[in-house]
Structure 1
Amino acid sequence: MNHIVLVHPAIPQNTGNIMRTCVATHSKLHIIKPMGFSLDDKHMKRAGLDYIKDLQMEIYENWEDFISKNQGDFHFFTRYSKLCYTDQSYVSNNDQYLLFGHEHDGIPHDILKDHLDECVRIPMDGNARSLNLSNCVAIGIYEALRQQDYPKLSKVEVQKGEDFIYQE
């Protein structure tokens, strides 16, 4: 199973968008406190729309709480890594945990330093400070899913029918 882990998220709209991505990709969302908002925030709920009811989510008091309850392959997305996220394998018999940090500061350094071999980077222009968090999550999870051949995901349109575009 794939897991998205947000370490100290701060912006409710990002978390709401990430919730939608998790539901669409059958990924479980893990949120590690502290958070910069309440889960009842109207902006987060609006971004998550009606997908939230189908979301698998767990909240943790801190990093130690999270790490004590979860095992698998960890992939820390950080601008400080020298390894491109596409050069990492997301295919194994273990659960895959994609970790993303606070919108302003990223994943805390004291966590990263213990996991340097598991850090990956999304390439971008050297003058760009960062990408939007919800975009990074989407980039990361879809690379993992691509490598896994999109398990349990439809490759055709099912709501309007796979031949909808061909109809007159």
Structure 2
Amino acid sequence: MSHRPIIALYEPDIPQNTAAIIRTCACLGAKLEIIEPCGFHLSDKRFKRVVMDYMDWDKIDLYQSSKHFFEAKKNHRVILMTTKASISYTKFNFKKDDTILFGRESAGVPENIHQSIDDRLKIPMNENARSLNIASSVAVVLAESLRQTGLI
């Protein structure tokens, strides 16, 4: 058990966002899990330009599918960040080893995954805004999780 939060990305499709999230996780000490398939190759120039030297395969796990991911998580708490939630991330009590799942930039997560997760949270935004950039969302929620659990 890591005793640090884990950020999980469901089938990410924008290489620059994933690279920025890798940097955020590296700087804040969180593990990253990526549920494949990705919408890009990890050799993509746009990805490499942003990730720079922050890529540490010891702190990144790849799952071949959401089925493999959820099998590995059956005894762990998974929290879904979604604009469809009614509870703010600031009103939630994070634990040190939570897995915080973020959906695909273009489509979120499928409805069956959305419904299978008990803890669904949102970042409150202005009423006319659709969503924050996923890299910004990860930074905001990860920082709050670390603050609540005394890890920063």
TM-score normalized by structure 1? 0.83
Shift of 1:91: 2.4
CA deviations over 1:117-154 (Å, ceiling 9, x no partner): 30000001121111100000001100100001125xxx
Correspondence for 1:30: 33
Which consecutive unaligned segments of at least 5 residues does structure 2 have?
Answer: none
The CA distance in 1 between the partners of 2:150 and 2:98, in whole Å, is: 14
Correspondence for 1:125: 126
Counterpart AA for 1:91 = K
Q: Answer with 6-15 or 37-46: which moved more.
A: 37-46
Equivalent residue runs for 1:26-65 within 5 Å = 26-53=29-56, 56-65=59-68
Correspondence for 2:136: 135
Counterpart AA for 2:102 = F
The CA distance in 1 between the partners of 2:49 and 2:28, in whole Å, is: 19
Structure with higher Rg: it is 1
Of the two structures, which has the highest relative contact order with CA contacts closer than 8 Å and spacing of 6 or more?
2
Which consecutive unaligned segments of at least 5 residues does structure 1 have?
Answer: 152-168
CA deviations over 1:95-135 (Å, ceiling 9, x no partner): 210100010111221101112x3000000112111110000
| SS, match of residue 79 in structure 1 | coil
Equivalent residue runs for 1:1-168 within 5 Å = 1-53=4-56, 56-70=59-73, 71-91=75-95, 95-115=97-117, 117-151=118-152
The CA distance in 2 between the partners of 1:25 and 1:55, in whole Å, is: 15
The CA distance in 1 between the partners of 2:28 and 2:58, in whole Å, is: 10
Give runs of ≥4 in structure 1 deviating > 3 Å: none
Please report the RMSD computed on the Cα atoms of aligned residues, expressed in angstroms. 1.4
Q: State the identity %.
A: 37
| Distance 1:55-1:26 versus aligned 2 partners, 3 A rule | farther
The CA distance in 1 between the partners of 2:99 and 2:95, in whole Å, is: 11
| SS, match of residue 41 in structure 2 | coil
The CA distance in 2 between the partners of 1:55 and 1:101, in whole Å, is: 23
| Distance 1:54-1:36 versus aligned 2 partners, 3 A rule | closer
